[in-house]
Amino acid sequence: MEKTTTPTTAGEPPTRHDPPTGSSGPGARPGGKGGRGGGGSIPWLLLAPCLAVLALVLGYPLTRLVTLSFQKFGQPQLWGFQDPESAGFGNFATVLGDGEFWAVVLRTIVFAAGAVILTMVIGMLIALLQQRVSGWVKTLINIALVASWGMPILVAVTVFKWMFDTDYGVLNWVLSRIPGVDLIGHNWFASGPQGLAVIMLLVVWGAVPFVAITLTAGLTQVPAELEEAARLDGAGAWGVFRHVTVPILKPIIVMLATLSVIWDMGVFPQVFVMRNGHPEAEFQLLTTYSYDKAFVVNDYSQGSAIALLTVLLLLGVIAVYMRQMLKIGEVE
């Protein structure tokens, strides 16, 4: 059957026949005019309940924190005997001019850096180990990781307190079995560095499972062909790991390291409970220091100022993380 076409004038393109409005043909777009149909507001409508909860749970406390940090607010103001007085930047000037505050900041940074490095190294080693063991060994490792991850912090603190106990500590007994080592009756919390090292191990012990499981999943995305090509080019195990595995895992490593920094700089229950609710000066981190200023000394304004400075410090960490992720996105 011969197909009939509409004649056109030379040099003019054929007339385009748009599909009728509301048609369901292949070229039709949902939503009518412009192909949008108000679809841009749908994601915000779906996010609205979540945003409302975040504004309620985080918005008011953060607003109240900022307000208190610029006021003179103590017990008289708390009980309503006096009205809060504006302090301007006086609380921040007092905090930033205090040498003890800067000692706590330095201690917190060193503590968080040590915990993050140990967590990332141990987590990576466990992830690499899981690639080289049999299935049932991998299952046992995953069970141990999940059990460690799911253990409540108070239970973990109790276990560590027993392990490092001066009189009945298992670690003292085990280490004393080494020739030339006598740690019977040794008090690990007699000095700040040793005590914080114990607390750091507790934090790492609870953080390693998440890192190890995430890195294990990431290692499954490393192409075996690239590793094999690197070996054929003469690269050893370290060369393959450095030039193939790490670049591919870089987004995951950056994410895990940033989250670990945020979590480890916000450590509170481990220190608070390990020191029976009264951390000594050499055990103070930013979180416990802020708590003591607010609820022990009853200077809620200075405690709020310290907490706000901690939030700003963490926002700096998040800014570095976002910058690194944007760089990785540009490369890809």
Tokens of residue 21, six digits: 């409005």
Cα separation, 254 vs 317, in Å, equals 11
| Dist CA 161 CA 185 (whole Å) | 14
Contacts of 32 (CB under 8 A, 6+ apart): 21, 22
* Residue 64 CB partners (closer than 8 Å, separation 6+): none
- CB–CB of 70/86 below 8 Å? yes
Averaged confidence pLDDT in the chain: 84
pLDDT tens digits for range 184-219: 888 999 888 999 999 999 999 999 999 999 999 999
74: three-class secondary structure by DSSP: coil
- Tokens encoding 5: 């076409």
DSSP string, 37-65: TTGGGHHHHHHHHHHHHHIIIIIHHHHHH
Is pLDDT at 96 greater than 60 in this prediction? yes
pLDDT tens profile 100-142: 999 999 999 999 999 999 999 999 999 999 988 888 899 999 9
Q: What's the pLDDT score for residue 115?
A: 95
pLDDT (0 to 100) of residue 332: 56
What pLDDT shows up at residue 43?
86
Crossing angle of the two packed helices 99-130 and 192-219, in degrees rounded to 10: 40
Rounded average pLDDT over 83-95: 86
Q: If you write DSSP's letter for every residue of 255-303 in order, what string do you get?
A: HHHHHHHHHHHT--HHHHHHTTT---GGG--HHHHHHIIIIIS--HHHH
Q: 279: closest CA among 96, 156, 104, 74?
A: 104
pLDDT at 2: 47
CA–CA distance, 192 with 281 (Å, rounded to integer): 8
1 pLDDT above the threshold of 60: no
217 near 248, Cβ under 8 Å?
no
pLDDT attached to residue 217: 92
pLDDT tens for 277-303 read 888 989 999 999 999 988 888 888 888
Taking only the tens place, the pLDDT of each residue in 3-28 is 444 444 444 555 555 555 544 444 44
8 Å CB contact between 279 and 271: yes
Exposure b/e, 59-92, CB count within 10 A at least 16 = b: eeeeeebeebbbbbbbeebeeeeeebeebeebbb
pLDDT at 324: 75
Q: Cβ of 195: how many Cβ atoms within 10 Å?
A: 21
Integer Cα distance of 187 and 75 in angstroms: 38
Percent of the chain with pLDDT over 70: 87
- Secondary-structure breakdown of the chain: helix, strand, coil percentages, each rounded to the nearest 5: 70, 0, 30
Distance between CA atoms of residues 259 and 133, nearest Å? 28
For residue 201, the model assigns a pLDDT of: 95
